[in-house]
Amino acid sequence: MPVPILKKIKVSDDGGEISVELKFKTLFLCTYSLDLTEGSHNASVIGFPKRGDNSNTEDDIYTLPVPASVNNKRKLWVVTTVIDQVGIGGEYKIDLIVKQADKLLDEITTGEKILKNEDYRQEFFIVEFLI
């Protein structure tokens, strides 16, 4: 049963652009939706939500609006779906890497997990940015 991974990440208001990257270490097919919402309510920030999957070689990196200070108290919601496209099970690990101007702020991970006898499983990340 998935449980959301909640994290508060401190960012610097003059530390440069914030980026988030999803890394999928698995042979499963994974899709995701990623949303950035205002702190006071759950309305999406302009340009969000984003979506993607791990079937191409492009990096799954997204930058947050600048200056960094506008993201204070904003929340990043990430939903990923791990799909067993072969039906034989296997392992997966999903990392969410948060950087500010190439400086690593945090690396949030599901850890190594096994998917077996399930057609899909979802993983959730919720990150709150604070200055």
Partner 1 sequence: MSGKLIRLLFLSFLFSQINYSILAQSDAEKSFYRINDQQGVQKARVDFAVPDLPALKIFEREAEFIARPGTVREISVGLGNLFQSGGALEVAPALLLSKASLSSYQQSPFLYRARISVSVNAPANGVREIGWGLRFTIIDDADLRTDKILQLTLISTGHELDSLSLEWLKSLPVEVLSDSASFSKEYDKFLSPTYGNRIKEAREEAKKRNWNKSILEFAVAGSAVSPDSTLKRFSQSGYAFWLTGGFPFLGEDGQIVFGLKGAARRSETNGIDDMQASFGLRSYYGSNNVKGFLECDWKAVKKQFPYFGFNAGGELNVLNGIWIDCSLGIIKQSNEEAKFTSSLNIKIAIPEN
Site string for partner 1, 76-105 (x = CB under 8 A): -x-xxx-xxxxxxxxx--------------
- Out of 8, 10, 25, 103, name the contact with partner 1 by CB under 8 A: 25
| 31 is a site residue for partner 1 (CB under 8 A) | yes
Minimum distance from residue 68 beta carbon to partner 1 (Å): 23
By beta-carbon proximity to partner 1, the closer residue of 43 and 66 is 43
Shortest distance, CB of residue 101 to partner 1, whole angstroms? 25
3-state SS track over the chain = CCCCEEEEEECCCCCCCEEEEEEEEECCEEEEEEEEECCCCCCECCCCCEEEECCCCCCEEEECCCCHHHHCCCEEEEEEEEECCCCCCEEEEEEEEEEECCEEEEEEECCCEEECCCCEEEEEEEEEEEC
Which residues inside 35-54 make contact with partner 1, applying CB under 8 A? 35, 37, 42, 49, 51, 53-54
- Footprint of partner 1 (CB under 8 A): 1-4, 6, 24-33, 35, 37, 42, 49, 51, 53-57, 77, 79-81, 83-91, 116-120, 122, 124, 126
